[in-house]
Amino acid sequence: MSGERNNASKQAMGLLRHAGRWQIWELALWLATIAAIFVLPSQMLILTEIAILALFAVSLDLILGYAGIVSLGHTAFFGLGAYAAGLFAVHVSGEPVIGLMAAGLVSALFGFLTSFLVLRGSDLTRLMTTFGVAMLLAEVVNQAAWLTGGADGLSGIIIDPILGYFEFDLWGRTGYVYCLIVLVALTYIARRIVNSPFGLSLKAIKRNQRRASMLGISPTRRIVAIYTISAAYAGIAGALLTQTTSFVSPDVLAFHRSAEVLLVLVIGGAGYLYGGVFGAVIFSILRNWLSVITPQYWMFWIGLVLIIIVLVGRERLTRWQTLLPGSARKREAGMQQTVAEESK
């Protein structure tokens, strides 16, 4: 009996380890982002933007791709983090790393509190509550002008050199490296999370919540946990934006940001963590290209892209992921193989 159980848990461990194995394309991707520091020295600001957007999208992927929560107001946490970092720099200390952690903590706390709102009800209720929370925050920021500067934004943010050594330079090179390090570190942690038993149980909840709870997985606590983590990620992304631009405006809480990050994730494909990174790269290139052609009306083309994506079918468009070596589908086959080998 106990031998059987041992065997089963060994099998499960094998599965998880196989799924968590580093793939060549992952390493290549990160090497490319590092190479960009030297190859594209004039594009640092855009690259920083991409890194921040990628982190934001990864945080959305955690709840959308893994827990199946459709959020229309994910920018609430992004904006909160941005303001928290800004206020921290103005009132407490200009040290960026501590500010980053503080912003992450504030967002995590807010995410924890609001996570109870997304537990109940259907997709529609979740859409409405997340949307409502973001609007609520935007309104608070707009009205509390004494604290946040209102519609003019919070200015006068001075960010000290990172850890006292690396000063933010004019070309944004330090900023990019800083954002990249944070992105890599947090993606690594997220990778550990989604490939852990906890991550697997989240997928089970996404597929069928009732069945998951019958199997002894408590959806409530897991959703609260992942929502809090995701909020912290979004907050850190917002804080990075504040620290690299030294400015926060109510724009960080605007609806179009929530829509944008959804679009980014949809372009890249949800549910495998790198969708956010690929999506952010594609989206930013697309947007920069469009805003060169039609400065004022790029929104139109973005909208068109969205509609086409939906009509053609998200699965069909993001099928290219399966071409990546070691992609989900191949991985599944590999897993079965491993299981078969180990059970011999």
CA–CA separation, 248 and 84 (whole Å): 10
> Which residue reads 């069909």 in tokens?
316
Minimum CB distance to other proteins, residue 207 (Å): 13
Nearest-CA neighbor of 264 among 70, 63, 50? Answer: 50
Minimum CB distance to other proteins, residue 113 (Å): 12
Minimum CB distance to other proteins, residue 128 (Å): 5
- Which residue number, 184 or 306, has a Cβ lying nearer to other proteins? 306
Contact by Cβ (8 Å): 234, 84: no
Among positions 290-329, residues that touch other proteins (CB under 8 A) are 296-307, 309-311, 314
Instruction: Give whole-number Cα distances, 340 to 20, 51, 68, 332, in Å.
Output: 18, 40, 30, 12
CA–CA separation, 285 and 266 (whole Å): 15
- Which residue number, 102 or 270, has a Cβ lying nearer to other proteins? 270
Instruction: Give whole-number Cα distances, 308 to 281, 284, 304, in Å.
Output: 19, 18, 6
Q: Is 220 in the site for other proteins (CB under 8 A)?
A: no
Contact pattern from residue 60 through residue 79 relative to other proteins, giving x for each residue in contact according to CB under 8 A and a dash for the rest: ----x-----x-x-------
Minimum CB distance to other proteins, residue 19 (Å): 24
Contact by Cβ (8 Å): 208, 68: no
Among positions 137-156, residues that touch other proteins (CB under 8 A) are 139-140, 142-143
Among positions 85-104, residues that touch other proteins (CB under 8 A) are none
Minimum CB distance to other proteins, residue 230 (Å): 16
Among positions 98-137, residues that touch other proteins (CB under 8 A) are 117, 120-125, 127-129, 131-133, 135-136
Minimum CB distance to other proteins, residue 274 (Å): 19
Q: Is 256 in the site for other proteins (CB under 8 A)?
A: yes
Contact pattern from residue 23 through residue 62 relative to other proteins, giving x for each residue in contact according to CB under 8 A and a dash for the rest: ----------------------------------------
Residues contacting residue 193 through CB under 8 Å, at least 6 positions apart? 62, 199, 226, 229
Q: Is 253 in the site for other proteins (CB under 8 A)?
A: no
Residues contacting residue 108 through CB under 8 Å, at least 6 positions apart? 228, 229, 231, 232, 235
81, burial (CB in 10 Å: exposed 0-12, middle 13-18, buried 19+): buried
Binder of other proteins out of 255, 327, 331, 342 (CB under 8 A)? 255
Q: What is the phi-psi region of residue 23: left when phi exceeds 0, alpha when psi lies from -120 to 50, beta otherwise?
A: beta
For residue 130, what are its two tokens? 């997340």
Size, binding site for other proteins by CB under 8 A: 44
Task: List residues near other proteins by CB under 8 A.
Answer: 64, 70, 72, 117, 120-125, 127-129, 131-133, 135-136, 139-140, 142-143, 255-256, 259, 262-263, 266, 296-307, 309-311, 314
